[in-house]
Amino acid sequence: MTHDILYNLYKILSRIEESCLKANRNPEEVKLLLATKTVPADKIRIALQAGQVLIAENKVQELKEKYEALKEIPHTNHFIGHLQSNKIKDVLKYGVTCIQSLDRIELAEKLHQKLLADNKTIEVLIQVNTSNESSKFGIHPDDAIELVTKVSQLSTLKIKGLMTIGLLSNQTDKVRECFKILKALQQQVIALHLPGVQMDELSMGMSGDMEIAIEEGSTIIRIGTAIFGQRNRPDSYYWNEAVTVK
């Protein structure tokens, strides 16, 4: 088990380097985030002990379950799943420093209220539904600028960039189009010079499409399967997806 994970990690790091080289980018611009849904703490620990520092869960319940087992190893926790308002308290309690899946103003306002009360702030990315799949979470690209603008007025939420899940398809031009949409939105937001808004991070690219995402400017790739192996639970459990285009 240890050997597999270490070998897979090595392969992913090589793929990052190779794609960066191809895209004329510095590999240090691309952070590797380990998407750890369904992965037991023992396996995650192997990756952390090998020097990885950034992990993320999709469900507050799993975050909670693994929290104790991992807390002695220094690392950063992001949240990449659909966040329900009634789970806000827990997501803050278990050390999440960035919510990458902020996709609606109601959630932003509730987060803000809770953070104000606690005298805390949190980093956020705005999740955009670039693939136009109605079942997928994320704000529609046409409404993204408005959401960023509104969230920027909530002082406890520190916007760091945008996140998307690309179209799950082997039609690479369509996948690439999703990442181009996110990049274009980033440029539009930057041009607005909104006070307090940073747009450095583009969280895009997963096991199957990381090379394309890196070519299109990704700064955070989120990898699960290619490091920890196939999950025994379908992604629809996490993504609420009725259909997957393959």
Ligand X SMILES: *Cc1c(COP(=O)(O)O)cnc(C)c1O
The whole-angstrom separation of Cα 20 and Cα 27 is 6
Cβ atoms 238, 221 nearer than 8 A: no
CB of 151 or CB of 221, closer to ligand X = 221
CA dist., res. 134 & res. 152, Å (int): 26
- What CA–CA distance (Å, rounded) separates 206 from 90? 26
Is the Cβ of residue 37 or residue 66 nearer to ligand X in the bound state?
A: 37
Instruction: Provide the minimum distance between the beta carbon of 136 and ligand X in the complex, in angstroms, as a whole number.
Output: 10
Strand locations in 128-186, DSSP E? Answer: 157-163
> Distance between CA atoms of 30 and 217, rounded to whole angstroms?
9
Binding mask 41-80 for ligand X (x = CB under 6 A): -----------------x---------------------x
Number of residue whose CB is nearest ligand X: 224
Which of 37/104 has CB closer to ligand X?
37
CA 216 to chain centre: 16
Name, in order, each residue with C-beta under 8 angstroms of 182's C-beta and a sequence gap of 6 or more: 128, 130, 162, 163, 164, 202, 204, 216
CA distances from 115 to 52, 89, 92 (A): 28, 9, 9
Binding mask 142-181 for ligand X (x = CB under 6 A): -----------------------x----------------
C-beta closer to ligand X: residue 103 or 186: 103
Site for ligand X (CB under 6 A): which residue of 76, 121, 169, 225?
Answer: 225
**Under the criterion CB under 6 A, does residue 35 sit at the interface with ligand X?**
yes
DSSP string, 3-60: HHHHHHHHHHHHHHHHHHHHTT--GGG-EEEEE-TT--HHHHHHHHHTT--EEEES-H
Q: How far is the CB of 236 from ligand X (least distance, A)?
A: 11
The one segment of 8-16, 40-48, 68-76, 205-213 that binds ligand X by CB under 6 A: 205-213
Q: Does 224 bind ligand X (CB under 6 A)?
A: yes
Among 31, 207, 229, 244, binds ligand X (CB under 6 A): 207
The residue among 35 and 47 lying less far from ligand X, judged by its C-beta, is: 35
Among 91, 138, 223, 241, binds ligand X (CB under 6 A): 223
Percentages helix, strand, coil for the chain, rounded to the nearest 5?
45, 15, 35
**Residue 19 binding ligand X, by CB under 6 A:** no
Q: Which residues of this chain interact with ligand X, rule CB under 6 A?
A: 35, 37, 58, 80, 165, 206-208, 222-226, 238
